[in-house]
Chain A
Amino acid sequence: MTSTSALEVQNVSFGYNGGLLLKDISFSIAPGELIALIGPNGSGKTTLLKILLGLLSPNSGGVMLHGQSLSSYQPKTRAKTIAYVSQQPALSFPLTVRELVSLGRYPHGGRGRESTSDKLAVSNALERTAANDLSDRRFNTLSGGEKQKVLIARALAQSARVLLLDEPTLHLDLNFQLQILSALRRLCVDEGITVITVLHDVNLVSLFADQALLLSGGALRGFGPVSEVINGASIKELLDVEMTAITGNDSTTRYFVPRNPFDAKPGRR
């Protein structure tokens, strides 16, 4: 493939002690797209993210980041190219939001005081996730949704062109889920940043993602535009859930309604 892809995965397999967690996975992601990574628990999503970050090395196959082999990057150079938002860490220390976001400048920084460009990058990052007004609060006093905005701002402060997120909408109320995904969507559309995120809600996938990566049992079950790969049959196969697709009033957006697997309906005994 050409070096125009942001991230290219070639025949990656990974496992410990003979058991394979990922089996011969290949795909290529164009810059500026929002990719949803979907799959049941234990399907290898987190393992795949760690391989894409260079935190685990595949047993066979390889990953190309902006046309260059991921394993050839120095850790700090890699961090300036690809950034990660993990599931929310428990932070027992009184760091302020601004302090936490400026930790994202680590790969750029010397050891002394923050430079002007560091300060600028931190303010920009806070602005892009609409977390400006939180900057002097202590991180551990924030709500789950506010924390998530701040954690994304930290990753943005790394000034990387590729962003990986592990379930950024976990434990958030619907309003914050939409805020977070809209912010990610803007990063793709306005700035051409590539976003790969684990998501569980197929409706949010169909509302926000360009492409979907379907993973189960460590194997790639589908990769392509959401309108093509996500449908009742693929959801049934991937998640073992019966869903009916309903087309919205704009005649393009599709909504997925799960079928109640029990015979007893609410309100009827």
Chain B
Amino acid sequence: MNRIILRFLLTATSLLAVILIGLSIGPVPISLLEMSATDKEILFNLRLPRVLSAFLVGGGLALAGSIFQGLFRNPIADSYLLGVSSGASLGAAAAIVFKLASPLASFAAVSVFAFVGSLGALALVFYFGHRAGGFSIFRLLLSGLGVGLFLSSLVAIFMLMAGEELKALIFFFLGGFASSSWDTTWVSIACIPLAVLIACYFAPELNVLLLGEETAASSGVRTRQIQLLYAILAALLTSISVSVAGLIGFVGLIVPHMIRLTFGADHRTLFPLTFFSGGIFLVLCDAAARTFMAPAELPVGIVTSLVGVPIFLYLIRNEIGDLG
């Protein structure tokens, strides 16, 4: 019990510290103790939504990664490698180019189209990656690669067709949190915590599924329903993240892996810890993206790749055992 309290306190303290770091970084120096009206405006309408978005997107991507890894019983699956992120970008791009989103609350509508795109991509990867015996890592990742490349080509065609929407599209694909506002944050606030709670609630079922579909079904798990539920949750988390911040790789790969190495593979602890750590990680990456070349900003996806790829390669070389 003490270990649980300790973990909780540790997570809460790091979260608070990281949020304060995130809030204090920016072109205008702000002292949290003496704030002018402009300072308050900057803090609450620019920096707070930015930090919250980065936290929720980071947590969402990390959780989506650990869901895919559990679902496919495979430690190197994530939304990016599986092509699901590309599906989400295709959906979002379609919404922007064909102005499908403009009459409604535009950001929410883009998210909906991204969600449809990521579900479609996931269905394709499922179709090509599945065989009677389950998912082999090579078939799965190659299907993800193929589907991802194909959908990215479609995105490129959309860009050529974009015309006057091209600027909006480029702005969208540059990604990052520079354009985060309360308008883009509220969708994440509404959906991501809910998805986290649902994922944690059904963690015991996913634990049993690690032993294979037949063993899980013979233990009383309704395997089809659970797999479908988690596929939808992971697609939802991916599509919201892509809608808010574009393509950000490796968060979903390295964060769950580090947590698993440290705290074990039980999804009941893995999911909440992965969510909070992913959030903290991306807030820090965003802070770095704003600081390195200030006043210019690096796209945050470049920072996560610079940090993530070496860790990923290290894990492939040393930690991930039999890749099957």
Given contacts A91-B211, A92-B320, A92-B324, contact A99 B219 (CB under 8 A): no
Nearest residue, chain A, Cβ from B211: A89
| B:293-324 near A, CB below 8 Å | 320-324
Asked if A75 and B75 make an inter-chain contact with CB atoms under 8 angstroms apart, the answer reads: no
Contacting residues of chain B (13-69) with chain A, CB-CB under 8 angstroms: none
A111 interface contact, C-beta 8 A: yes
Q: Are B260 and A92 in contact (CB under 8 A)?
A: no
CB neighbours (8 Å) of A104 from chain B are 219
Q: Which chain A residues border B207 with CB–CB below 8 Å? A: 103, 106
Cβ of A128 within 8 Å of any chain B Cβ, yes or no, is no
Asked whether any CB of chain A lies closer than 8 Å to the CB of B215, the reply is yes
Q: Residue on B with the closest CB to A79?
A: B220
B191 in contact (CB, < 8 A) = no
Interface size on A (CB < 8 Å)?
Answer: 35
Chain B residues in 8 Å Cβ range of A77 = 220
Cα distance, A206 to B205, chains bound together (Å): 39
- Out of B201, B215, B219, B324, name the residue touching A107 (CB < 8 Å): B219
- Asked if A86 and B264 sit within 8 Å, CB to CB, the answer is no
Contact of B204 among A94, A96, A106, A154 (CB under 8 A): A106
Q: Does A109 contact B (CB under 8 A)?
A: yes
Q: Is the C-beta of B212 less than 8 angstroms from some C-beta in chain A?
A: yes
List, in ascending order, chain A residues with CB within 8 A of B219's CB: 79, 83-84, 103-104, 106-107, 158
Q: Do B322 and A90 have beta carbons less than 8 Å apart?
A: yes
Q: List 9 A-B contacts (CB under 8 A).
A: A74-B220, A75-B217, A83-B218, A84-B219, A89-B211, A89-B215, A95-B265, A106-B208, A106-B220
Indicate whether B210 reaches chain A with its CB closer than 8 angstroms.
yes
Whether A55 lies near B217 (C-beta < 8 A) is yes
20 extra interface residue pairs, beta carbon distance < 8 Å, beyond A78-B220, A86-B212, A91-B210: A53-B214, A53-B217, A75-B220, A79-B220, A82-B218, A83-B218, A83-B219, A84-B215, A86-B214, A90-B322, A92-B75, A92-B321, A92-B322, A94-B264, A103-B207, A104-B219, A106-B205, A106-B208, A106-B220, A107-B220
B1 to chain A, nearest CB (A): 9
Q: Number of A-B pairs whose CB atoms are under 8 Å?
A: 89
Considering only CB atoms, which chain A residue lies closest to B261 in the complex? A94
Chain B minimum-CB-distance residue to A53: B218
* 3 nearest A-B residue pairs (beta carbon): A79-B220, A93-B265, A84-B218
* Chain A residues with CB under 8 A of B261: 94
Complex Cα distance, B161 from A213, in Å, reads: 67
Residues on A facing B (Cβ under 8 Å): 50, 53-55, 74-80, 82-84, 86, 89-96, 99-100, 103-104, 106-107, 109, 111, 140, 154, 158, 164
For the complex, what is the distance from the CA of A99 to the CA of B210, rounded to whole Å? 12
Contact A75 B260 (CB under 8 A): no
Does B290 make an interface contact (CB < 8 A)? no
- Closest CB of chain B to A3's CB: distance in Å? 23
- Cβ of B183 within 8 Å of any chain A Cβ, yes or no, is no
Distance in angstroms between the alpha carbons of A83 and B208 in the assembled complex: 13
Is the CB–CB distance between B264 and A55 below 8 Å? no
Contacts of A103 in B (CB 8 A): 207-208, 210-211, 219
A109: chain B residues at CB < 8 Å are 204
B80-108 residues at the A interface, CB under 8 angstroms: none
* Residues in A whose Cβ lies below 8 Å from that of B212: 86, 89
| Docked complex Cα distance between A140 and B319 (Å) | 12
Query: Is B291 an interface position by the 8 A CB rule?
Result: no
A111-B204 in contact (CB<8A) = yes
- Taken together as a complex, chains A and B put the C-alpha atoms of A82 and B214 apart, in Å, by 13
